[in-house]
Amino acid sequence: MKKARLLFVMCLLVFTFVLAACNKNGELDLKSIIDTGTPTPEATATPEPTATAEPTKEVTPTAEPTAEPTEEPTAEPTAEPTEEPTPTEPEVTEEPTPSVIEDRFSNEDTVYDIPELLTLGTYADGDSEWGDGNKLYEVSLDMLVLSDEDKEKYPNLALQFDLMNMEYRDVAKFWTEKFKDLCDGGYALEGDQYYFVRDNYNILRADSYVVSLADTGATYEGGVHPDYGTIGVSIDTETGEQLTVKDICNDWESLGTMIAYKLNEKYGLWEDDSKIDELISYIDEKIDEGSQSFTIGYEGVTFYFTPYEIATYADGELTVTFSLDETFVAQKEDGPEMMGLFKRKYRRVPERYMLQMTPGIGVELLDLVEENDNFDELTICEIPNEKYHGTSNGHYILLNGNEIFRKDEIYSDSNDNAYFYIKVGDRKYIIVKTVQGSDDTYTYVYNLLDNGNIYDWTEDGNEFGFEFAGLRDYYGDGLWDYHLTSQTIYDPENTVIESRFDVIGTNFVTKKIKFNYSGDEVYDYASPYYDFTGRWELTLKKDFKAGMIDPVLMFNGDENVTGEMDMEVELQAGDVIYLEKCTADKQVFFSTDNGEWGTFIMDKPADYDGEYFYSRTIGGEDIDDLFEGISYAD
């Protein structure tokens, strides 16, 4: 399992070897990259479909599965022999049978609670280099991060993530050195193209039952086109082991046929029965050996086939999705019985969720437009900037391949943008976070209507959807590290917006929000106050008057209950205060070393227009004359 992503990147490299040989006329000296048993170019010179299949075949074997069989026999056999002398023992043998459904079908009698969401995040690691105004290469590989609370709850999952991250850091190091050698050796690409390896986790599910990731990667070392593909990685949250189709499906022996016919219905690439039979045999073999790639989302199970695997490169990556509520008829001894195709454990999902979307990769979602059992494919794409690679001029949204929305001329760094699909009750939203340069970040909110149209909140007088820059999860009393904020799986009712806020310098502040189930507004503020991100410490340069307050009255949970100022206190030069909260009108609340709380209000500027509030004075005095430790942006 821990080698899944490494093997996936190797798979992309294998594609490159074949394509480079065809397209570069031997210009590049491409060899086997890591001495870990990775197939050499000669070994993969067989037809492309078999080349792509091999990495997924090697995904499932891990060291962990051998641990369980060795532990279980030692505990159970020793307990029962000591109690067997009693004459009533034969009755015990009858009890286990009702709990197991016969033949290949799993136990559907188990009752499962609605799972709890995990706090799972990703961040990109890697390197890039520019030369003569153009990018030479880029290496960007996602790492997985689990909250401290969830690490304690699920230690096996945390260990698996550590192993996966360690493998990928080695891969990132390798590609960086390889691209540097290519560039230093004079193997420059024509025009504005550059070498790259990108591998990103699209978090499709993260809860107390399963973590499911769409591992999407692309590699370019020259040639006509990059190699790309997606591998589904689904992990049991408790054991940390990767799941196979047999682990999640009640009728895996029939599933290959179901997948093949659904693929042909969707893409129409197999003309006769013999071709479909070949496809069924191929998928059955992958399922039997535990190498079929899939993800378990909040609405369905998606099966992935990389380019060249079962079709041509031009046909692209092929996927099919089955609803979690899919059923089949099981032929039992007592007659036919209707059962769920997937085990009940994985059919229990949260009522609301927020999914990451990878640009250009469609996500299949149930009943976006019509009330039926069909899946609609939702895709968000960036509009490339013709002048600068790695940036975009805007974005557009596709529904089942048809463009339903476009927003042009939003210059942004495409590598740092983030895209999300949110479902809250019957309402569906698309969230687009754009990073413009290194400073300006904007968040756009689009309402996906039942008729397939997009309602743009930004066209309704709310320029950026949110007042603030980014989104992140809020769990308990802690906030995530800043570098994780753009790519965390979200609970829509425990979400925080953030921005670098011009109050006492340019500190970051956050505010808790929740998405609406109904009504005209997209979201509600769960708290009227903004929290300063981090413990911002200021030292007074001179005596300073402030109002002292009772924080118990002031901050009554998330309700707007403002306490009375108890008295006015003059703080002394040298005293230290800690910025805690503020309001939109720049009323600032702080604490002191002795546990007291105080407040002061920034002066409104003379040209204040009721919208933009930038102030540098308090009571007529410049903040730089009042405090040491003020933070400003670079």
DSSP assignment of 276-336: HHHHHHHHHHHHHHT---EEE-SSEEEEEE-TTTSS-GGG--EEEEEETT-EEEEEETTEE
Q: At what angle do helices 4-23 and 48-57 cross, to 10 degrees?
A: 160
Q: Which of 575, 610, 115, 54 is nearest to 345 (CA)?
A: 115
What contacts 332, CB < 8 A, 6 or more positions away? 101, 102, 103, 105
String of DSSP letters for 587-633: EEEEEETTS-EEEEEPPPPTT--SS-----EETTEEHHHHEE--B--
Query: What phi and psi values does residue 36 have, to the nearest 5 degrees?
Result: -130, 25
State how far the Cα of 276 lies from the Cα of 284, in Å rounded to an integer: 12
Q: Which amino acid is at 193?
A: Q
236: helix, strand or coil: strand
Which structure tokens are listed for 224?
Answer: 């006509």
pLDDT value, residue 136:
86
Which structure tokens are listed for 593?
Answer: 């070393």
**Residues facing 419 on adjacent strands:** 432
pLDDT value, residue 570:
81
What contacts 534, CB < 8 A, 6 or more positions away? 507, 508
* Maximum separation of any 2 CA atoms in the chain, in Å: 95
Q: Which of 181, 200, 199, 171 is nearest to 136 (CA)?
A: 181
User: What parts of the chain have a pLDDT lower than 70?
Assistant: 1-109, 188, 190-192, 389-390, 415, 437-441, 458-490, 494, 498, 517-521, 554-567, 608-613, 633-634
Query: What phi and psi values does residue 42 have, to the nearest 5 degrees?
Result: -65, -40
Q: Which amino acid is at 313?
A: Y
Q: In what order do the strands lie in the sheet with 195-206?
A: 120-131, 134-146, 195-206, 210-220, 227-236
pLDDT value, residue 574:
94
Is the distance from CB of 488 to CB of 472 less than 8 angstroms?
yes
396: helix, strand or coil: strand
pLDDT value, residue 507:
78
Q: What is the pTM of this model?
A: 0.66
Q: Which amino acid is at 67?
A: A
Q: In what order do the strands lie in the sheet with 418-424?
A: 352-356, 418-424, 427-436, 440-448, 454-456
Length of the chain: 634
State how far the Cα of 109 lies from the Cα of 111, in Å rounded to an integer: 6
Is the distance from CB of 319 to CB of 302 less than 8 angstroms?
yes
State how far the Cα of 534 lies from the Cα of 504, in Å rounded to an integer: 14
232: helix, strand or coil: strand
Q: Which of 1, 8, 4, 5 is nearest to 227 (CA)?
A: 8
State how far the Cα of 120 lies from the Cα of 205, in Å rounded to an integer: 10
Taking each continuous run of H as one helix and of E as one strand, the counts in the chain are 11, 34
Supply the DSSP symbol for 63.
S
Q: Count CA atoms closer than 13 A to 319's CA, side-chain side.
A: 25
pLDDT value, residue 14:
45
State how far the Cα of 624 lies from the Cα of 539, in Å rounded to an integer: 11
Is the distance from CB of 280 to CB of 262 less than 8 angstroms?
no
Is the distance from CB of 315 to CB of 306 less than 8 angstroms?
no
Q: Count CA atoms closer than 13 A to 360's CA, side-chain side.
A: 13
Ordered domains of the chain (ranges, CATH): 4-64+114-350 (3.30.565.40), 354-526 (no CATH), 534-634 (no CATH)
pLDDT value, residue 413:
74
Strand pairing category for 363-366 and 375-384: antiparallel
pLDDT value, residue 294:
95
Q: Which amino acid is at 285?
A: E
pLDDT value, residue 292:
94
630: helix, strand or coil: coil
274: helix, strand or coil: helix
Strand pairing category for 195-206 and 134-146: parallel
